[in-house]
Structure 1
């Protein structure tokens, strides 16, 4: 990206990931609004991004922030890999492409915590109807058509997916046409996965929202620019400082700055700007501007445990390799699902501590926790923008999570060992039958995350909240947050779709506050 001569804009959006692309696009639909979208990574559209089945090749690449958690005593001292998308499209350019809108109970919880019914499920459905271009069976109440977000199911699911559906049915788990209709309003079920794949290729949120608007004269996209802090006059934000090719540069916003850098970088930049826990800031020589103790706290992620089987014969990998979505309950007394199973058509190696090699030809189902009770946090290692954050996921610290992990693995094994797989599966490889103590060790040694880091700058009304119901940072003028960090509680399922909705709502709030009723819906401007 060439050096920018114009340093002054109306709106600056920091982070061109899932949420930031949406916010910037909607703001830029207003012809009079000068919008700057800043991204630390680069543009890349090679096969690793474009081809759905190649998504694992992005992990650990330059398109991955490749964060790492601190040693966790609850995981026998292991560190967890915490991948996060870096580059245009963010996570939506490297993830598994699963479209999962969040459960009714999730959005109603957002409404209760924020005190604003506009965050409730019924209101959020209006956003989904507006943004989706759903290719499946029509559902006028819950699904949209003609929107920017293409969502489809595999046209011909692989035998593995069909066997998973049958195995779930044998266990009494109801089947639905889609995981994003009625299934997201009750106790759970199973369905063929909704995916962000269009004509056989990944469609990132950047592809859906920014690429069609690149010709807008009022939209500037700046890559290779690391946001280091927001610039303040007193408690009013006036712009941001970035580092480009090792040099510092400032950009100024006449109206607002929106942080959409994700649940790690957003709180990190807040703290580097003097917004966060006062003691933490002073420890690193940062002058506190606003003492917000909740910045970096409340970290949540979906935890998972890989269960693997060997194929009788090698099988093709369809779409992204993830063709079924299953949400279920660890306890029949629960009203909503707390388990999230992710079936992949290829074998995923377990962490080395499990000490079992994956089969040459196999498949893995991740037994996951959709409603983790454990809470982690994020701190600074130093005041410098290049100082790595200290991330403490604290996974499995809550006893309830260990109990749910046992149940999730039990369900996973019951599915994979079902007679429905007799024509596909040779043997169970991991974990196999284990007594209670041995299974506990497997859980602690195998736990990984779904890379859904969330909730570190939560929306709410208590002392640990960072933003209000309009996503405005408490005590700071002209600064909002729009990404997964504002979630009061992590949603059930993959977090991409909820981030799009959070960003759509953020854009509406910003535009309304600046004299525009609602965001535009289509980039048809010449």
Structure 2
């Protein structure tokens, strides 16, 4: 059976190569839909639209192929950071981080960030989705509706719970079956801060104030299963889905208030592609607002300063930037961690009495991650494990803005992390709680000493937070969904004031979801496809 399966895969791979090579020579026709970005959300949208054989879809990806060990092998995920498959956006120096800069790693490859991330599948809390529904006025974003979407898209390879998990969907999700004993010890140790242990992190745990569990990952048979591989690749042998790599979108083409196509750089020249029905931007929280602003959609005053003709005054474009900061707590181990290094356990918790949702989350694993400043101060042993804490919903907000009117002009990113004093106070509490868990009796057999931060207080702890904060690479919110004057899209993800244009990526989040953002981006792609199909009678 294994040989037969391998043969089937080889045949499909060959059909995909031949079909896409042919389609790449037939690019003059108009398409029904153009999807910009083959990342987590864009791959979902392209798949769902192209399932109708009468619909033609063009999927444009600025990056290259994903069929390389650095993507497919889970333990090589970190080798992508700063390389050719990473946009590696660098934010402006931040006074709140002692003038440090943060690199916002983002996938530049088929699959986008789902091809280079740590593969953690975290659905977002019940209150996040109900907040989306409240902001948009659209019940299809409610937790009850989204839970059904998750059950439909998952192929859960753990013990099945029919109320929460699904089987047979495109996204292969499995528990970390190779979890180190220290991972399980951390789940048990979380009781010292009042955190209950759960069998898995994507069910009842995300309906209350928190819990701890072994992580879920998008790994199938030992290989990464990105959103692109789960959704788009299986149907790329069809004649109605064209996927172009190294095709960088530069601007939207807008005619009389309607998006009619895009301008893109492909094979050494600038080309225009036409969409008869809709254009969908799925380029992420940095590039989506950049393309909108370059196309005349943004704050009118700022666009005029850059001599960009104003098409629609949307002052929220590029605003509301959010991210999860990561604060490192690290312990030295007596021997090398032999298990899967992608992160083994997760925990969510709250300090507030009567809180219905978590204020903090953390991931634990054998990840040697710390800022250069923290390493210089404390050192980083060869064998260690870390617990990396974050605020679930930081209050600090940043900005993405243009530096010039040309597509090749870089954006300026003011992340503004820790700019809200509440976030700094909460970060100190987060560190205190993590240290209590990490030094609990359940974990003591697995370490020889605490490396960082130790029992710091007052100004010394503040210094550690400002010097040591890193990023979880969960940037989002820069084209938010809602009904106020700063909203960019409505509940159907249509851009205000422009026909034929939607956004489907993390930029539409009104607020960041609790935990990792990849799984919510799959839902955003599914929701966009639902709305598009309904609008064009494709259901």
Matches of residues 307-318 of structure 1 in structure 2 within 5 Å? 307-318=329-340
| TM-align CA RMSD | 1.3
Aligned residues: 516
CA distance 1:498–1:106, shift in 2 (3 Å): same
- Mapping 1:147-226, distance limit 5 Å: 147-226=169-248
TM-score after normalising by structure 1: 0.96
Q: How far 1:3 sits from its partner (Å)?
A: 5.3
Cα distance in 2, alignment partners of residues 317 and 156 from structure 1: 6
Deviation at 1:140, TM superposition (A): 1.7
1:339-358 paired onto structure 2 within 5 Å: 339-352=360-373, 355=376, 356-358=378-380
Q: By how many angstroms is 1:166 displaced?
A: 2.1
What is the CA–CA distance in structure 2 between the aligned matches of 1:441 and 1:404, rounded to whole Å? 14
Structure 1 distance, partners of 2:289, 2:434, is 35
Contact 2:50 2:240 in 1 (8 A): yes
Closer, same or farther in 2 for the Cα pair 1:100/1:246, shift >3 Å? same
On the 8 A contact 1:160/1:345 being kept in 2, the answer is no
- Correspondence for 1:443: 465
The corresponding residue for 1:322 is 343
The yes-or-no answer on 1:382 pairing with 2:404 is yes
Q: Structure 2 vs 1, CA of residues 131 and 235 (structure 1 numbering), >3 Å: closer, same or farther?
A: same
Shift of 1:350: 2.5
Q: Counterparts of 2:375 and 2:133 in 1: how far apart (Å)?
A: 41
Equivalent position to 1:242, from 245, 249, 264: 264
Distance 2:65 2:153 in 1: 24
- 1:354–1:442 contact (8 Å) kept in structure 2: no
Determine the structure 1 residue equivalent to 2:311.
Answer: 289
How many angstroms does 1:353 deviate by?
5.7
Q: Distance in 2 between matches of 1:25 and 1:362?
A: 41
Q: Does 1:132 align with 2:154?
A: yes
Residues 377 and 393 in structure 1, CA contact (< 8 A), matched pair in contact too: yes
Match of 2:358 among 326, 337, 350: 337
Deviations 1:445-501 (A, max 9, x none): 111110001000000000000001110000000000000000100000111111001
Give the secondary structure class of the aligned counterpart of 1:48: helix
1:62-89 Cα distance to aligned partner (Å, 9 max, x none): 1110001111111111111100011100
- What is the CA distance between 1:28 and its match in structure 2? 0.3
Gaps of 5+ in 2: 1-20
Identify the residue that residue 101 of structure 1 maps to in structure 2: 123
Please tell me whether residue 21 in structure 1 is matched to residue 43 in structure 2. yes
Of residues 483, 493, 498, the one that matches 2:515 is 493
**1:515 equivalent in structure 2:** 537
Find the aligned partners of 1:347 and 1:14 in 2 and give their Cα distance. 34
Deviation at 1:292, TM superposition (A): 0.2
| Higher mean displacement: 249-258 or 172-181 | 172-181
| Matched-pair contact (CA < 8 Å) for 1:349–1:357 | no
How much does 1:202 deviate? 0.6
4+ runs of 1 displaced by more than 6 Å? Answer: none
Q: Is the 8 A contact 1:17 1:205 kept in 2?
A: yes
CA distance in 2, matches of 1:346, 1:394: 26
Unaligned runs of 5+ in 1: 518-526
Q: Is the 8 A contact 2:370 2:468 kept in 1?
A: no
Q: Determine if contact 2:179/2:339 at 8 Å carries over to the other structure.
A: no
Q: TM-score, normalised to structure 2's length?
A: 0.94
Structure-2 residue corresponding to 1:521: none
Deviations 1:28-51 (A, max 9, x none): 001110100000000122221111
